[in-house]
Amino acid sequence: MDGTILHTVLDGLSVESTCFPDESRGDKLNGVIMVTTENMDVDEESLLKYSTTLTNRQRGNEVTVRPATLDILSIHQLAAQGEVSQVATHLSKDSLLMNRQDERGFTPLMWAAAFGEKAMVDFLLEKGADPSIIAWERESALTLASSGGYADIVKGLLEYGVDINAYDWNGGTPLLYAVRGNHVKCAEALLDKGADMTIEADSGYSPMALAVALGHKKVQKVLENHILKLLKKKA
């Protein structure tokens, strides 16, 4: 399938587009952004802010927490640190803690996903944690894992049928956060499961436009390859 290369400027971005004939629409062209070249001064925070700032203090591990102090930490902090045995002890005493939301609306599963604690995520899911719970600012476990670049956790959560296109108060989706962080493996996992590439953040940037603006060429290539795959299926 031959394409026509066009060069244009969109919102200050120098972009090359490959336009493929869409036979179902006569002589009209179906434009797909394929390559971008020039570097720009970009305020990354204006494109898509991270959904939340998670600190070691909130995790209960400002420096290094000694084992003797683990009994004073909440189940959320223990989950964030990956203390599986300690969390299991808490749950054996009160099973309702499994999906208990803290002051941010985060569950233990969300904290574990946010800090890349794969063993903890697996343990909580096996014990019945609900991966579809949304926090007060609409963050999800999938959003937090995607933002952190934890591809194995992203893949695991997707097996539980979570909303792959859930958006938070920034208008960010898991795919947008994966692109924002230049997390190639996360983007691939999300796209393979059908993540919507057309959803825009509140800033107006789609995943492709965000990759272009930030100069994230590897994740941009992943998006381009996915577009080509979709076009081949339609051909």
Q: What is the pLDDT of residue 72?
A: 80
Q: What is the pLDDT of residue 54?
A: 56
* Structure confidence by residue, pLDDT tens digits, 12-58: 333 333 333 333 333 322 333 333 334 444 555 656 665 554 544 45
b/e code 125-161 from CB counts within 10 Å (16+ = b): beeebebebbbeebbbbbbbbbbbbbbebbbbbbeee
Q: Which residues contact 93 (CB under 8 A, 6 or more apart)?
A: none
* Structure confidence by residue, pLDDT tens digits, 169-199: 888 999 999 999 999 999 999 999 999 999 9
Q: What is the pLDDT of residue 188?
A: 98
pTM (two decimals):
0.76
Please name the amino acid found at residue 32.
V
Q: Is 70 helix (H, G, I), strand (E, B) or coil?
A: helix
| Cα–Cα distances in angstroms (integers) from residue 135 to residues 33, 64, 140, 191, 203, in the given order | 34, 27, 6, 24, 21
**Mean pLDDT over all residues of the chain?**
79
Distance CA 217, CA 231 (A): 21
CATH number of the domain at 42-234, please? 1.25.40.20
Flag whether pLDDT at 233 surpasses 50.
yes
The conformational region for residue 10 under phi > 0 = left, psi -120 to 50 = alpha, else beta, is: beta
Distance CA 207, CA 216 (A): 11
SS3 content of the chain, % helix, strand, coil (to 5): 50, 10, 40
* Structure confidence by residue, pLDDT tens digits, 122-151: 999 999 999 999 999 999 999 999 999 999
**Sheet containing 13-21, strands listed edge to edge, beginning at the edge strand earlier in sequence:** 4-10, 13-21, 29-36
Q: What is the pLDDT of residue 43?
A: 56
Q: What is the pLDDT of residue 35?
A: 34
Q: What is the pLDDT of residue 200?
A: 94
Nearest Cα residue to 183 out of 202, 158, 207, 213: 207
For residues 207 and 172, is the Cβ–Cβ distance under 8 A? no
* Structure confidence by residue, pLDDT tens digits, 81-120: 999 999 999 999 999 999 999 999 999 999 999 999 999 9
Distance CA 70, CA 87 (A): 10
Distance CA 124, CA 122 (A): 6
* Structure confidence by residue, pLDDT tens digits, 155-168: 999 999 999 999 99
